Structure 1
């Protein structure tokens, strides 16, 4: 699995995403550099060389190369949780699995997302030699993407193996008790993220523009989740906002 995935502002398909392996760096700013990949933030209020992202295994670091602007890194799933990276600060570690880098640009705030979907674990307690083991299906049951996965699988978890997949509107209704601000767009975003996190391969069911149909992606996610017990019947308690009943 790629260590870090950068999602440019206004990205509309996975082909726009920039994948970084551990040790890779990605500069960003108003103008592209002469060598290697670069994230261009085309706004006159952004420095030509504004900063740099460095992948470091299961997390990433942010360098603020601006001489005057503080950058904010937000956790979109948090309750205002964020860190600030001061001008000139190098290699500030970012602890969020999902992060939004916010850049002041004149009278606007510009942003792009950074995902850190890789989770590493020891093979067993006490074992320290060698590289850590990468988890096959690194899911955090406290995250909204997991709640979306439970909602996708809910009918089949309740004993309806041939139930049709829920529509976007049905998913929104299922998720609203524990996620009042849920929307069709946020559900679609989480489905896309699940496809990355669970390493779904591109499917042959594509629309003319080349992007996978949402229903095909949902079906493959549900099939994978149920086949490997990534979600179970007791996870349905999450849809009622009850975390205490979930393992």
Structure 2
């Protein structure tokens, strides 16, 4: 199976059709302004003659920045602002995103070079011989009210606005009303406080230590949830689904 599919930017000679380039594991694709030595020519005066190189590596890929001055940014379009920077002269920087957009600065323009990595390798789990299960790092029940509250907090950034301000408690209440008619400011705030304990941002009730005051509680919850994929875009269906749980 191909490891990578590279979609050229619209400035290339085949801009009308944007022919996709397939790379198998171990194959390399050099790109730049020059037609010599590059598998992908990007015909723009602001792009280095030999700008960079992409190398397929199974379920991930490597990016080499061969320019002298420009830093390249590799964005994850589905990652709520997730990105990495590859500085000038950096070789073989690993990129783990399934969908990526290399942003090439070019004389006042930002050229997008898309890279898709559809190959997924997974471990085949065998039965544990001692019969003990690993305790999950974060235990969340997607049928509970608290998960719907967390999904509502994460929704703006999951919808493609990675730097959007978080909704207020009142806005969360209104967002949850179709599925949870009895939602109130007090009940939503209770669930936010509960999530802070459940996700170990605050000590639990079993300890007398109240822990440090948690400023920006909502921001901390959303940051943790998005960083570890505790809430994904697919999970936003809980905001529209009829509620079957009792009100907390």
TM-score (norm 2): 0.50
TM-score by length of 1: 0.50
